[in-house]
């Protein structure tokens, strides 16, 4: 075996997997107000920024695709997450700012109510405190249409409500936005690795947890069923989330579907690498590039990662 691994040239020639800057999607957190650029303590290097700051920085973004999360103030949150469906809300404003400066940038938006509801759950609640599926998906459809009308290329529903992809497809089509894609967080697990994100997005559930709607980390067949349902409902892309502990799921979906597939290298995965590098126990660049290459090898076409900007700098 060693003959063919002897030189850089030989090794590169035999490489089965590539990592390109166009495979990466950068998450962005947008807050209300002006002149805001607030570091997220649990995610070194990540900030929450207001739309004006984002607009000023747009030209410098190296990634060619972004995923936007709206992070409204507590006073803007209510029971039904009404700030999420406004045409002039935070996310529509951010989309317009990005597209004005960079019309070619692929703009994807997170479609979920957890950042907008006072209780922090991903949908609206019934009197008994459960998440009401069908009332929630109607709101998700409106939210996606507001983003698409502002120019988003893809809506990425992450609420794990049943039928959300169909509801969003119908809402988009009814609004004359048939050209807008849906990237479904089809196989999203109830994961402890979202901890730092909930700090960044101020979206931790006020009571209970998300195990009544997100997948159990123990279940592999169920993840494929979720993805197949979303495909049938009209998803254009599928996603697996988190990424590194779930590469078997990435591989299963790659084999089980012809749709393009994304993997979300989530906040906890990012924080682990950042903190280990800071502690001097791993070489950051090598470890991150290895992690990303392995996610691609498992079958992901695109990777959502807080490392996107650094990777673009490293491999450009
Ligand atoms: C919203 C949402 C979450 C993430 C993306 N969209 C958090 C959650 O489900 O609690 C996590 C992203 C990350 O950890 O980087 N539903």
Determine the distance separating the centroid of ligand 1 and the alpha carbon of 194, expressed in angstroms. 6
> Which of the listed residues 194, 272, 273 should we mutate to test ligand 1's pocket, taking the one with most ligand atoms within 8 A of CB?
194
94 token code pair: 């951010």
Give the fold, CATH level 3, of 19-315.
Answer: TIM Barrel (3.20.20)
Determine the distance separating the centroid of ligand 1 and the alpha carbon of 15, expressed in angstroms. 33
Point out the catalytic residue in the list 99, 188, 274, 278.
188
Exposure letters 40-66 (e unless 16+ CB within 10 A, then b): bebbeebbbbbbebbbeebeebebbbb
Determine the distance separating the centroid of ligand 1 and the alpha carbon of 185, expressed in angstroms. 10
Q: Which atom of ligand 1 is nearest to the CA of 115?
A: 1
229 token code pair: 């349902």
Q: How far is CA 152 from the centre of its chain?
A: 14
Helix residue spans in the chain (DSSP H): 8-13, 51-57, 90-101, 133-149, 164-174, 195-200, 221-233, 247-256, 267-278, 284-298, 308-315
pLDDT in tens, the chain (316 residues): 999 999 999 999 999 999 999 999 999 999 999 999 999 999 999 999 999 999 999 999 999 999 999 999 999 999 999 999 999 999 999 999 999 999 999 999 999 999 999 999 999 999 888 899 999 999 999 999 999 999 999 999 999 999 999 999 999 999 999 999 999 998 999 999 999 998 888 888 888 888 989 999 999 999 999 999 999 999 999 999 999 999 999 999 999 999 999 999 999 999 999 999 999 999 999 999 999 999 999 999 999 999 999 999 999 8
Bridge partners for 65 per DSSP: 106
Measured in degrees and rounded to the nearest 5, phi and psi for residue 132 equal -80, 115
* pLDDT number for residue 204: 85
CB of 253 closer than 8 Å to CB of 301: no
Q: Which atom of ligand 1 is nearest to the CA of 270?
A: 15
The protein residue whose alpha carbon is closest to atom 2 in ligand 1 is: 158
* pLDDT number for residue 198: 87
Is 188 marked active-site? yes
Given CA atoms 71, 77, 83, 88 in this order, what sign does their dihedral have? negative
Determine the distance separating the centroid of ligand 1 and the alpha carbon of 269, expressed in angstroms. 12
The protein residue whose alpha carbon is closest to atom 14 in ligand 1 is: 194
The protein residue whose alpha carbon is closest to atom 7 in ligand 1 is: 194
Is 241 marked active-site? yes
* pLDDT number for residue 254: 98
> Which of the listed residues 203, 242, 245 should we mutate to test ligand 1's pocket, taking the one with most ligand atoms within 8 A of CB?
203
How many whole angstroms separate alpha carbon 113 and alpha carbon 29?
A: 15
How would DSSP label each residue in 36-70? -EEE-TTSTT-EEEEHHHHHHHGGG---SEEEEEE
> Which of the listed residues 158, 187, 195, 215 should we mutate to test ligand 1's pocket, taking the one with most ligand atoms within 8 A of CB?
158
Point out the catalytic residue in the list 77, 142, 241, 274.
241
* pLDDT number for residue 60: 97
> Which of the listed residues 27, 193, 197 should we mutate to test ligand 1's pocket, taking the one with most ligand atoms within 8 A of CB?
197
pTM across the whole model: 0.96
Q: Which atom of ligand 1 is nearest to the CA of 204?
A: 10
Q: Which atom of ligand 1 is nearest to the CA of 306?
A: 15
Tell how strand 37-39 and strand 47-50 pair up: antiparallel
Number of C-beta neighbours around residue 204 at 10 A:
14
Which residues have CB under 6 Å of ligand 1? 110, 112, 114, 122, 158, 194, 197-198, 210, 266-267
* pLDDT number for residue 56: 97
């Amino acid at each position: 075996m060693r003959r063919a691994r002897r030189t850089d040239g030989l090794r590169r020639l035999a490489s089965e997997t590539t990592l390109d800057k166009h495979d990466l999607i950068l998450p962005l957190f947008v807050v209300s107000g002006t002149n805001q650029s607030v570091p997220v303590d649990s995610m070194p290097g990540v900030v929450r920024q207001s739309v004006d700051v984002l607009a000023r920085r747009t030209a410098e973004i190296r990634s060619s695709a972004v995923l936007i999360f709206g992070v409204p103030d507590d006073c803007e949150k209510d029971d039904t997450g009404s700030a999420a469906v406004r045409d002039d809300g935070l996310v529509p404003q951010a989309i317009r700012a990005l597209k004005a400066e960079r019309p070619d940038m692929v703009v994807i938006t997170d479609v979920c109510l957890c950042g907008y509801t006072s209780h922090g759950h991903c949908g609206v609640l019934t009197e008994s405190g459960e998440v009401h599926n069908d009332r929630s998906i109607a709101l998700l459809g409106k939210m996606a249409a507001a983003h698409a009308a502002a120019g988003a290329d893809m809506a990425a529903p992450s609420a794990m409500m049943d039928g959300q992809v169909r509801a969003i497809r119908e809402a988009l089509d009814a609004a004359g936005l048939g050209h807008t894609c849906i990237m479904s967080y089809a196989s999203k697990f109830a994961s402890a690795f979202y901890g730092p994100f909930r700090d960044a997005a101020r979206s931790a559930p006020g009571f209970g947890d998300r195990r009544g709607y997100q997948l159990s980390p123990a279940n592999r067949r169920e993840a494929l069923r979720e993805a197949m349902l979303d495909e049938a409902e009209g998803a254009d892309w599928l996603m697996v989330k988190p990424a590194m502990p779930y590469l078997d799921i990435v591989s299963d979906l790659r084999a089980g579907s012809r749709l393009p597939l994304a993997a979300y290298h989530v906040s906890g995965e990012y924080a682990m690498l950042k903190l280990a590098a800071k502690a001097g126990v791993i070489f950051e660049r090598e470890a991150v590039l290895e992690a990303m290459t392995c996610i691609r090898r498992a079958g992901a076409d695109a990777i959502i990662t807080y490392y996107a900007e650094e990777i673009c700098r490293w491999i450009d």
